[in-house]
Chain A
Amino acid sequence: MEILQHFDVIVVGAGLAGMRAALEIDPDLRVAVVSKVYPVRSHSVAAQGGINAAIDPEDKWQDHAFDTIKGSDYLADQDAAELMCEDAPRVVYEMEHWGTIFSRRPDGRIAQRSFGGQGYPRACYAADKTGRALYQTLFEQSIRRQITVLKEFFVVSIATAHGQVAGVVCIEIRTGTVVGLAAKSVIIATGGAGMMYARTTNPYINSGDGMAMAYRAGVPLKDMEFIQFHPTTLPGMNVLITEGARGEGAYLYNRDHERFMERYAPKLMEVAPRDIVSRAIETEISEGRGFDGDYVLLDLRHLGENIIKHRLSEIYDFALTYKGINPIYEPIPVQPGQHYMMGGIATDKHGATELPGLYAAGECAAVSVHGANRLGANSLLDTLVFGRQAGIQASQFVRKNPGVDFPSADLTRQQDMISRVKAAGRREPYGAIRRELRETMTQYVGTFRDEPRLTKALKTVRALQDRYAEAGIQDQGDVFNYDLLAYIETGFLLDLAEIVTVGALARKESRGAHARIDYPDRDDAQFLRHFLFTPDGRRDEPVVITHYQPKERKY
Chain B
Amino acid sequence: MAVSRTFRIFRYDPVKDPAPYWSLFTVNVEQGDSVLTGLMKIREELDGSLAFRASCRSGICGSDGMVINGRSRLACKTQVDDMGHGEVVIEPLRNLPYLKDLVVDQTPFWDKFESVMPWLHESTTEPVPETERRMTLAEDAFDDLSKASDCIFCQICYAECPVNGLDRAFIGPQALIKAFRFEADPRDVGTNERVPILDQPDGVWRCRTTFNCTVSCPKGIPITKDIQSLKREMVGTYFHARQEV
Contact = CB atoms under 8 A, between A and B. Distances in A.
A429 B152 CA distance: 33
Contacts of A107: 134, 136
Contacts of B103: 480
Contact of B15 (A41, A129, A237, A479): A479
B13 to A, nearest CB: 6
A41 B51 contact: no
Contacts of A129: 150
Interface in B166-195: 182, 185, 187-188
A109 B129 contact: no
Contacts of B133: 93, 96-97
Nearest to A432: B44
B225 interface: no
B26 to A, nearest CB: 17
Interface residues on B, range: 35 or more
Contacts of A55: 132
B89 interface: no
Q: Which of A42, A109, A322, A426 gathers most chain B CB within 10 Å?
A: A322
B56 A203 contact: yes
Interface string A184-220: 0000000000000000000111000000000000000
A45 interface: yes
Contact of A41 (B13, B63, B136): B63
Interface in B135-162: 135-137, 142-143, 145-146, 149-150, 152-153
B16 to A, nearest CB: 7
Interface in A486-525: 486
B244 interface: no
A176 B87 CA distance: 32
Contacts of B114: 143
A414 interface: no
A198 to B, nearest CB: 13
Interface string B66-110: 000000000001000000000000000000000111010010001
A101 B146 contact: yes
Interface in B42-64: 43-45, 47-63
A127 B142 contact: no
Interface in B19-39: 32, 34
Contacts of B101: 480
Nearest to B37: A237
B61 A41 contact: yes
A483 B43 contact: yes
B238 interface: no
A419 B192 CA distance: 55
Contact of B55 (A101, A110, A205, A486): A205
Contacts, number: 159
A481 B58 CA distance: 23
A478 interface: yes
Interface in A74-127: 90, 93-94, 96-99, 101, 104, 107-110, 126-127
A93 B129 contact: yes
A339 interface: no
Interface residues on A, range: 35 or more
A321 B146 contact: no
B77 to A, nearest CB: 6
A355 B56 CA distance: 32
Q: Which of A99, A132, A239 gathers most chain B CB within 10 Å?
A: A99
B152 A477 contact: no
Interface stretch (A133-141, A448-456, A528-536): A133-141
A429 B47 CA distance: 11
Interface string A51-69: 0000100000000000000
Contacts of A240: 58
A294 interface: no
A37 B58 contact: no
Given A129-B150, A473-B48, A479-B14, A104 B56 contact: no
Interface of A: 37-38, 40-43, 45-46, 55, 90, 93-94, 96-99, 101, 104, 107-110, 126-127, 129, 132-133, 136-137, 140-141, 143-144, 174, 203-205, 236-237, 239-240, 310, 314, 317-318, 321-322, 426, 429, 431, 435, 473-483, 486
- A-B pairs, 6 with minimum CB distance: A99-B120, A108-B134, A474-B48, A431-B44, A483-B48, A475-B49
Given A37-B63, A237-B34, 15 more contacts: A45-B60, A90-B130, A93-B133, A97-B122, A109-B134, A140-B118, A203-B57, A203-B61, A204-B57, A322-B32, A322-B58, A429-B44, A431-B44, A479-B14, A481-B51
11 contacts: A37-B61, A41-B62, A46-B60, A94-B129, A101-B149, A107-B134, A140-B119, A204-B54, A239-B58, A429-B45, A477-B49
Interface of B: 13-16, 32, 34, 40, 43-45, 47-63, 77, 99-101, 103, 106, 110, 114, 117-120, 122, 126, 129-137, 142-143, 145-146, 149-150, 152-153, 182, 185, 187-188, 220
